[in-house]
Structure 1
Amino acid sequence: MDPMIQTLTYYLSNHPSIVTFRWSVTQSWGSTWSFLFTSISFYLAFSTLLHLLLSLLLRSRRPVPLGPFPALHSLSMSVISATIFAGILLSSAAEIRETAWFWRRSKTPLQWLLCFPLGTRPSGRVFFWSYMYYLSRFLHMLRTLFTILRSRKLVYAQLFNNSVMTCVSFLWLEFSQSFQVLAILCATLVYSVVYGYRFWTAIGLPGACFPFVVNCQIVLLGCNLVCHIGVLMLHFMKGGCNGIGAWVFNSVLNGVILLLFVNFYVRMHLGKGKKTSTAAILRELPEVEKVN
């Protein structure tokens, strides 16, 4: 094996901090319910306060200049998402190799990715990267501030989505929820592409001739729906999946996001003669992401 590949594999899946990771109040920052509710409440309150202050202090609707910060944020999120994708992919392969003896008579590797065995604990490689994904959700929230400063609008769908996704990623860890590995793989792959595209356009390079971000979100939601059906079938056919209660809660939230997105997509393509442009609708609902 190439030395560079060996080094990357070590730091992404075999480092002692990754292998020995354990989700707990004493070992993991941000792992308490009080921290979750406090941080989300602060995010909502600060976003609302910033919007109100701008409305009171700046009468004009001109955007606040942000310089290179949105582009740097997009580049950083693209790199972080790609790193989490590579890390959880390598870690999943390692976990399957090392633990297949325990569940191989009842599950295939794909079934394991969809349905953790009952009694699974939030420790080890894949949960380390699930924890990294949870922490990255707080960096996603910065886009809300950029939206408020640039468009001078408080987009409630964006606030709802970021709050829900942060809560959901917390539940993945707290209840060792099944399906989170595939969810993170799909989400981080799309995020790395979408944020890379946003960086590309932010530095002045030409964008796609079609709604690129929206189409990526359609693919993400489609994969999500198919996998949810797979989890439900395995739960009843294979004797149960770990964390199914949290999965049901996540599915309800996912249904809400899906309905919002379908409504948005129909309005964009089947406006029935209305003169609302695609750009205007995209500004109205700029952040529809997947909930798992």
Structure 2
Amino acid sequence: MEDLYTNVHYWLVDHPTISKFEWKQGHTFGSSLCFLTLSISIYLFITLLSFRFSSLLPTLPITILHRITAVHSLILCLVSLIMIVGCSLAVLNQMPRHDWRRWVFCFPVDNNSITLPSGPMFFWIHFYYLSKILEFIDTILIILSRSRSRRLSFLHVYHHTMVPLLCYLGIYTRQSLIHIIVIINASVHVVMYAYYFLCAIGKKPWWKKLVTDCQIIQFILGFICSPIMLYYHFTTEGCCGFGLWCVDIVFNTSLLLLFLDFYSN
């Protein structure tokens, strides 16, 4: 068991590619504003065009569409699981021994190496950011499926558009709580994409409601962590990314309201 932990820790934390990671604006893959802007613009353009002219899109055989959905969902389920383990181990590895409780909720406003966007923790946060681009495929699959049970909504497009932007800004500002957000959201996505995978291969899991419950719990946990961060922000020299946190609160509140409205209808 110890050998397994050592191997996992090496490949997810200590490997040179991960341990020596540095977010260099305009040099690290996906770190340029051009990349972000183009990715979101292309996503919105293809989504709106596909939705507007969905009747002109080729109708894929249902078996092929299910296979594509199954592969896509399985990949994102496994990727999310790896991100949970990788980011959790990286946080434990990068966490300072002194005043670690504060650091978990509040990256101090100083330019020391612990909170710079570098090292294994920010490698996995960067990886998480890139996975949000991969999730754009979700939208295309929904449009192609023409499914009544999983229909395209404003909530879906709004979420997929805003999350990559907030991830990018979260890395850039070294936002406090971002590592917790990654771990919680990736955990929800393991459950969600496992459900989509099973549906795509013809299974009907009894725990469909669990997916919705996990998504709501995600919001609750985020709102619980926020007051702790606020306490440290106003009683110490401040927390990194406080301005972005304010934007996040507005976004998450709007998302929760849209989410509850969507599922109540």
1:83 is aligned to: 82
Give the corresponding residue for 2:105: 114
Shifted more, 162-171 versus 225-234: the winner is 225-234
The question of 1:149 aligning with 2:144 is answered yes
User: Which of 114, 126, 129 is the matching residue for 2:124?
Assistant: 129
Q: Which residue does 1:74 correspond to in 2?
A: 73
Greater shift in the superposed pair: 166-175 or 148-157 = 148-157
User: Are 2:188 and 2:211, in contact at CA under 8 Å, matched by a contact in 1?
Assistant: no
The answer (yes or no) to whether the contact 1:48–1:154 under 8 Å persists in 2 is no
Contact 1:74 1:196 in 2 (8 A): yes
Aligned AA for 1:224? G
State the 1:249 CA deviation: 1.6
Partner of 2:168: 170
Q: How many angstroms does 1:223 deviate by? A: 0.7
In the TM superposition, what is the alpha-carbon distance from 1:64 to its structure 2 partner? 6.2
For normalisation by structure 1, the TM-score amounts to 0.82
> CA RMSD, aligned part only?
2.0
Partner of 2:28: 28
Structure with larger Rg:
1
After superposition, the C-alpha distances for 1:161-200 in whole angstroms (9 at most, x for unaligned) are 0111111110111111100011111111111122112212
Which residue type is aligned with residue 78 of structure 1? C
1:259-270 to 2 correspondences below 5 Å: 259-265=257-263, 268=264
Q: CA separation in 2, counterparts of 1:83 and 1:63?
A: 31
Change over 3 Å in CA distance of 1:140–1:206 after alignment to 2? same
1:1-292 aligned at under 5 Å gives the runs 2-56=2-56, 65=62, 66-96=65-95, 99-100=96-97, 104=98, 107=99, 109-119=100-110, 120-151=115-146, 154-208=152-206, 211-265=209-263, 268=264, 281=265
> 5+ residue gaps in structure 1?
269-280, 282-292
Cα distance per residue 1:124-182 (max 9 Å; x no partner)? 11100000000000111111001111127642221110111111110111111100011
Shift of 1:114: 1.2
Q: Could you tell which deviates more after superposition, 19-28 or 69-78? A: 19-28
Partners of 2:125 and 2:12 lie apart in 1 by 13
| Contact 1:64–1:149 (Cα < 8 Å) also in 2 | no
Please give the alpha-carbon distance, in whole angstroms, between the structure 2 residues aligned to 1:176 and 1:201: 38
Shift of the alpha carbon at 1:42? 0.5
CA distance, structure 1, for counterparts of residue 25 and residue 160 of structure 2: 23
Q: Distance in 2 between matches of 1:222 and 1:23?
A: 30
CA distance in 2, matches of 1:26, 1:256: 31
What CA deviation, in whole Å up to 9, does each residue of 1:81-136 have, x standing for no partner? Answer: 0001100111111112xx33xxx2xx3x3321211111231111110000000000
Q: Percent identity?
A: 32
Q: Give 1:6 deviation, angstroms.
A: 1.0
